[in-house]
Amino acid sequence: MDAGAFGNRLGFEDAYRFARGEELTASGGERVKLSRPLDFLVIADHSDNMGFFPALFSGKPEMLADPTGRKWYDMVQAGGQEGVKAALEIIDNFSRGTFPPALQFLPGSDGYSSTWDQIIAAAEKYNEPGHFTAFIGYEWTSQVPPGNNLHRVVIYRDGGDKAVQTLPFTTYPPQGSTTPEDLWKHLQAYEDKTGGRVLAIAHNGNLSNAWMFPTETNPATGQPLSAEYAKTRAHWEPLYEATQIKGDGETHQYLSPNDEFAGYELWDKGNLNLSEAKKPEMLQSEYARSALQIGLQLEAKLGTNPYKFGMIGSTDSHTSLATAEEDNFFGKHSGAEPTPTRFEHEFMRNGDLFLTGWQQVSSGYAGVWATENTREAIWDAMRRKEVYATTGPRMLVRFFGGWDFAEADAQSRNPAFAGYGKGVPMGGDLRAAPAGKSPTFLVAALKDPIGGNLDRIQIVKGWIDAAGARQEKVYDVVWSDERVPGADGKLPAVGNTVDVATATWTNTIGASELIKTWTDPEFDPALRAVYYARVLEIPTPRWTAYDAVRFGVKMPPEVPMFGQERAYTSPIWYTPEG
Amino acid sequence: MTSAVLTKLLREPLLHFLVIGAALFGVYQWTTGDEAAPDEIVVSAGQIASLQAIFSQTWQRPPTSSEREALIADYIRDEVLYREGVAMGLDRDDVIVRRRIRQKMEFVADLSADVQPTDAELKAFVADHPDRFSGEPRVSFTQVYFPAGAQTANEAEVERLRLALNAGTADASTAGSPLLAGSDFRDLAISDVAQTFGTDFAAWIDKATPGTWQGPVTSGYGTHLVRVSERVEARQLPFEQVRDAARREWLHARKVVAAHALYEELRSRYVIKVEDLPGAPSATVVGAAQ
């Protein structure tokens, strides 16, 4: 899906300007502005070729040696109308076939300059340490035939001086490859050459048809997963994108039948291009929760957990507009920007399998606990997995694990002091259980100041039982409105204030803030375990409800009109000694 | 906390194939169309060097001889299929090819405006847009929080506490309820206050007089009493501090103008007729030839 192809005429610069809070005109003509600017943005385009135009305009000596080249260069430097005239002359020379041959292939010039240079230039231009971080990055769009999604976004810690020294990795041989191991080799080569740092973030395992998180066999080679694979993957891929426009990826109700909140905004019909239908047995290798558990199994076998990832959300937007809240959803691509009929457009079809416009998910964002708003600090936080995913709301979420958290820590005015002082933050590790102790967790969430109240915080535990089988359990840890669990232990639903007819809700239920310490009641120090927190908002209108009101359209009953937005923290892992 | 988003543009490898093909060989076609016979494909030494250079920049090593053969074979395959595809008109009415080419034309327009401004030009630009380059007001403040919902404190209690805080008989560090966002804030720009507490709260604090406990004021979280301890007014920043931002904005403004001028000029070369849509309410005809 090509941003240019879908009518997106907003470029890299526009994407940065929008993220920083500037008002723009979207491809469809609407004036758009983020109500709250973002702190950082990665624009991940793929590499493409801009021809020799950049060299033509940049005043390379070879070009200046040619009289016509010199003339055009001087016109551009003169600026204003002269620059426009130079561009027109160049266009005219091309259309008449009179372009000076000497300029077409400049001797000794590097000929083609790639879009990569433009991406880097735009990032450098808009990156303002301390105020707004524009990461250099790209997307490696690996799609294994017939269409199994293995996409990764590569993010550089570095500036343009290093990033420009290599080209992004592509997927077509002989230049590129669709195999993640080749991407990792490429990343290693980049670091070896430049001394820079990069990481890769996979997304949409839900469209990989079991290729994203293999359980035993490496699908790329047909060989059993090796210790080398586990180590290399864990090194380069510290994060997984667990929620975005093409479906939420936390868990599937098939995998988590006892989780009443499983099955949120799923895309589970097939692979990326719907060329192959989904089979239930594929699902375990597609969702974050089961992958975290498979990782524990593989760690026992291979010595390294290849799926030891933190979680972020992202928009995967192709509109240059990073819009992830329900009331500002701009759609996947410019052909689907707000119109009265976008909900019913066929989004994708392959034979009998199809997805309709309303199934797009208005999600998500990444929250990062960084010491400052710079490339280095945010990247470092990503590397240590001190990050969390939200499906759009800008909730503030804390999650610490340790052996000694007490109820008083949750009453503190500064719970993070206790969190860092007595434990490890999200993304961290617990080892060596003190005799007789169970892990304790300090978990807290503050609602988005302009979003829905909070319903509850849950802790999701995954572990490998003594027989080596995967297990999971979802614990309600803290909730709003003084609800009392029923005899079956189930917490009553928070309620629903959504008025679909007006696409409004009230914060008369739920809580602004929830905080609690929690001790694992079923801890076995001999068994590997992984814990993460899930925060649920009260029900709020879905983007489809805003569309229905805005355009006065009636949508069929299968279209959801509200939902409970959520956040997923990066996990904390417990590993037994020895 | 830092919120974030990853925006990804452009994917779908099949489309990449088409687009990259179109891009590479579109240029090739224009520039070399009269050099080779229609049924001749020349892979020049320069092109091979370029293929090798891209490979080396990707893999950090030169291609082996078999990889080089593969690069050339792939190049030829692209060229054969591209030419045949163009001959069949497959590039026409292809929204992907059209958009990509359009983006590139706009990029060419951008390049034509890409020059380095002088300090004098930038200073003049800053002087013309003072609002864009002055800092924001910054505030330091303490807040006492009362959650919304069942435990909401009543107005009289809040007012009593406010008076007690001003009289020094209540302690802000234990009054009200904890708030995860924090209670003491130092030297925050108004826009940062808005990020944490919402725009209404930020607008209120922007007007608050420093020195005393004021409020109550509401945010998305509940009710607050606030004491602004210090306020630093927005001021014109030294030129050195805004030079980079000014250069960015100056170039952007220039590119917008250049792109518009270039498009208007190109458009004026066409006679444009927009037909009526059958059943459309009003007739529209636009002519634009000069």
Cα angle value A141/A147/A151 (rounded, 5°): 25
Separation between Cα atoms, residue A480 and residue A511, nearest integer Å:
5
In the block, tokens 């052996």 appear at A403
Separation between Cα atoms, residue B42 and residue A439, nearest integer Å:
69
Among the partner-chain residues A3, A35, A312, the one whose CB lies closest to the CB of B9 is: A3
Mark whether B157 and B127 lie in a shared domain. Answer: no
Mark whether B142 and B220 lie in a shared domain. Answer: yes
Report, in angstroms and rounded to the nearest whole number, the Rg of chain A calculated over CA atoms. 25
Decide if A88 and B266 are in contact by the 8 Å CB cutoff.
Answer: yes
Pair of tokens at residue B86: 């163009």
Q: Closest residue of B to A187, CA-based?
A: B59
Separation between Cα atoms, residue A374 and residue A318, nearest integer Å:
25
Pair of tokens at residue A307: 């799926």
Separation between Cα atoms, residue A331 and residue B135, nearest integer Å:
34
Please tell me the predicted confidence (pLDDT) of residue A317: 57
Beta carbons of A51 and B107 less than 8 angstroms apart: no
Separation between Cα atoms, residue A66 and residue A63, nearest integer Å:
6
CATH, residue B176: 3.10.50.40
Chain B residues touching residue A53 (CB < 8 angstroms): 104, 107-108, 111
> Quick one: which of A43, A17, A16, A21 has its CA closest to A34?
A21
Chain A residues touching residue B11 (CB < 8 angstroms): 1-2, 46, 139, 141, 151
The answer to whether residue B8 sits within a structural domain is no
The answer to whether residue B6 sits within a structural domain is no
Decide if A449 and B220 are in contact by the 8 Å CB cutoff.
Answer: yes
Decide if A99 and B199 are in contact by the 8 Å CB cutoff.
Answer: no
User: Among positive and negative, which fits the CA dihedral A8, A13, A14, A16?
Assistant: positive
Decide if B261 and A112 are in contact by the 8 Å CB cutoff.
Answer: no
Q: What is the pLDDT of residues A508-546, one digit of tens each?
A: 999 999 999 999 999 999 999 999 999 999 999 998 998
Separation between Cα atoms, residue B126 and residue B103, nearest integer Å:
30
Chain A residues touching residue B60 (CB < 8 angstroms): 166, 186, 189-190, 192-193
Q: Which residues pair with A147 in a beta bridge?
A: none
- Alpha-helical (H) ranges within A250-374 are 288-302
Pair of tokens at residue A278: 């989904």
The answer to whether residue B106 sits within a structural domain is no
Chain A residues touching residue B8 (CB < 8 angstroms): 43-45, 139, 153, 314, 316-318
Mark whether B64 and B208 lie in a shared domain. Answer: no
> Quick one: which of A170, A479, A291 has its CA closest to B19?
A170
Separation between Cα atoms, residue A441 and residue A577, nearest integer Å:
20
Q: Which residues pair with A444 in a beta bridge?
A: A398, A515
Pair of tokens at residue B198: 């919402």
> Quick one: which of A38, A565, A489 has its CA closest to A250?
A565
What's the number of domains chain B is made of?
Answer: 3
B207 Cα to chain A: minimum distance (Å): 20
Give this complex's ipTM.
0.78
The answer to whether residue B3 sits within a structural domain is no
Residue type, position A436, single letter: G
- The confidence band for B28, taking pLDDT boundaries of 50, 70 and 90, is very low
Among the partner-chain residues A41, A57, A413, the one whose CB lies closest to the CB of B7 is: A41
Q: How many CA atoms lie within 13 A of A519 on its CB side?
A: 10
Cα angle value A200/A204/A209 (rounded, 5°): 115
The answer to whether residue B255 sits within a structural domain is yes
Q: What is the pLDDT of residues A358-393, one digit of tens each?
A: 888 877 889 999 989 999 999 999 999 999 999 989
Query: For strand B213-218 and strand A423-425, is the pairing parallel, antiparallel, or unpaired?
Result: unpaired
Pair of tokens at residue A140: 């490696």
Q: Which residues pair with B143 in a beta bridge?
A: B226
- The confidence band for A480, taking pLDDT boundaries of 50, 70 and 90, is very high
Q: B205 or B154: which carries more pLDDT confidence?
A: B205
Decide if A48 and B150 are in contact by the 8 Å CB cutoff.
Answer: no
Separation between Cα atoms, residue B114 and residue B178, nearest integer Å:
52
Cβ contacts of A183 within 8 Å, gap of 6 or more: A140, A142, A152, A154, A169, A177, A200, A236
Please tell me the predicted confidence (pLDDT) of residue A9: 44
Separation between Cα atoms, residue A68 and residue B162, nearest integer Å:
75
Instruction: Note whether B100 contacts A: Cβ–Cβ < 8 A.
Output: yes
pTM recorded for the entire structure: 0.82
> Quick one: which of A491, A564, A565, A573 has its CA closest to A532?
A573
Mark whether B73 and B24 lie in a shared domain. Answer: yes
Decide if B23 and A51 are in contact by the 8 Å CB cutoff.
Answer: yes
Separation between Cα atoms, residue B72 and residue A174, nearest integer Å:
10
Decide if B180 and A9 are in contact by the 8 Å CB cutoff.
Answer: no
> Quick one: which of B143, B156, B165 has its CA closest to B221?
B143
Mean pLDDT highest for which of A64-78, A406-420, B83-97? A406-420
Cα angle value A236/A240/A246 (rounded, 5°): 135
The answer to whether residue B161 sits within a structural domain is yes
Chain B residues touching residue A193 (CB < 8 angstroms): 60
Q: Using CB atoms within 10 A of its CB, is residue A47 exposed (0-12), middle (13-18) or buried (19+)?
A: buried
From the CB of residue A501, how many other CB atoms can be counted at a distance below 10 Å?
A: 10
Separation between Cα atoms, residue A285 and residue A281, nearest integer Å:
8
Q: Using CB atoms within 10 A of its CB, is residue A401 exposed (0-12), middle (13-18) or buried (19+)?
A: buried
Decide if B31 and A54 are in contact by the 8 Å CB cutoff.
Answer: no
Q: Kindly tell me if the per-residue pLDDT of A348 is higher than 80.
A: no
Q: Which of helix, strand or coil describes residue B8?
A: strand
Among the partner-chain residues A76, A84, A365, the one whose CB lies closest to the CB of B4 is: A365
Decide if B12 and A449 are in contact by the 8 Å CB cutoff.
Answer: no
Cα-to-chain-centroid distance, residue A263: 19
Please tell me the predicted confidence (pLDDT) of residue B9: 32
Q: B14 or A563: which carries more pLDDT confidence?
A: A563
> Quick one: which of B252, B289, B244 has its CA closest to B268?
B289
Pair of tokens at residue A433: 């259980």
Beta carbons of A373 and A40 less than 8 angstroms apart: yes
Q: Which helix (H) or strand (E) holds A534?
A: strand A529-537
The residue segments making up the domain with residue B65 are: 13-101
The answer to whether residue B21 sits within a structural domain is yes
Q: A399 or B63: which carries more pLDDT confidence?
A: A399
Beta carbons of A347 and B38 less than 8 angstroms apart: no
The answer to whether residue B28 sits within a structural domain is yes
Chain B residues touching residue A84 (CB < 8 angstroms): 109, 112-113, 258, 261-262, 265
A60 Cα to chain B: minimum distance (Å): 14
Residues A134-156 have a mean pLDDT of: 86
Pair of tokens at residue B80: 């054969």
Q: Kindly tell me if the per-residue pLDDT of A51 is higher than 70.
A: no
Mean pLDDT highest for which of A71-85, A327-341, B126-140, B205-219? B205-219
Lowest mean pLDDT among A33-42, A112-121, B29-38: B29-38
Separation between Cα atoms, residue A356 and residue A373, nearest integer Å:
38
Q: Provide the chain B residues 117-146 that lie in CB contact (below 8 A) with chain A.
A: none
Cα-to-chain-centroid distance, residue A188: 22
Please tell me the predicted confidence (pLDDT) of residue A445: 97
Q: What is the pLDDT of residues A217-234, one digit of tens each?
A: 998 889 999 999 999 999
Mark whether B141 and B220 lie in a shared domain. Answer: yes
- Alpha-helical (H) ranges within chain B are 13-32, 45-59, 65-87, 95-111, 119-128, 130-133, 155-167, 190-197, 199-207, 239-267
Examine the fold and report which residue of B49, B76, B101 is the final residue of a domain before the chain moves on.
B101
Mark whether B156 and B187 lie in a shared domain. Answer: yes
Mark whether B60 and B22 lie in a shared domain. Answer: yes
Mark whether B185 and B220 lie in a shared domain. Answer: yes
Chain B residues touching residue A449 (CB < 8 angstroms): 196-198, 201, 219-221
Mean pLDDT highest for which of A113-127, A461-475, A536-550, B6-20? A461-475
Mark whether B195 and B152 lie in a shared domain. Answer: yes
- The confidence band for B93, taking pLDDT boundaries of 50, 70 and 90, is confident
Mark whether B119 and B243 lie in a shared domain. Answer: yes
Q: Closest residue of B to A183, CA-based?
A: B59
Pair of tokens at residue A280: 């239930």
Separation between Cα atoms, residue A86 and residue A326, nearest integer Å:
45
Mark whether B22 and B96 lie in a shared domain. Answer: yes
Which residue of A39, A407, A512, A565 to mutate against B (max B Cβ within 10 Å)?
A512
Q: Which of helix, strand or coil describes residue A44?
A: strand
Query: Which string of DSSP letters, residue by residue, matches A443-507?
Result: EEEE--TTSPPEEEEEEEEEEE-TTS-EEEEEEEEEESTT----TTSPPPP-----BTTTTB--T
Please tell me the predicted confidence (pLDDT) of residue A138: 86
Q: What is the pLDDT of residues A238-266, one digit of tens each?
A: 999 999 888 899 999 999 999 999 989 88
Chain A residues touching residue B203 (CB < 8 angstroms): none
Examine the fold and report which residue of B216, B232, B248 is the final residue of a domain before the chain moves on.
B232
Which residue of A1, A2, A414 to mutate against B (max B Cβ within 10 Å)?
A2
Among the partner-chain residues A172, A189, A365, the one whose CB lies closest to the CB of B59 is: A189
Separation between Cα atoms, residue A436 and residue A438, nearest integer Å:
7
Examine the fold and report which residue of B217, B232, B247 is the final residue of a domain before the chain moves on.
B232
Mark whether B157 and B76 lie in a shared domain. Answer: no
Decide if B3 and A507 are in contact by the 8 Å CB cutoff.
Answer: no
Pair of tokens at residue B223: 């009710």
Separation between Cα atoms, residue A213 and residue A380, nearest integer Å:
24
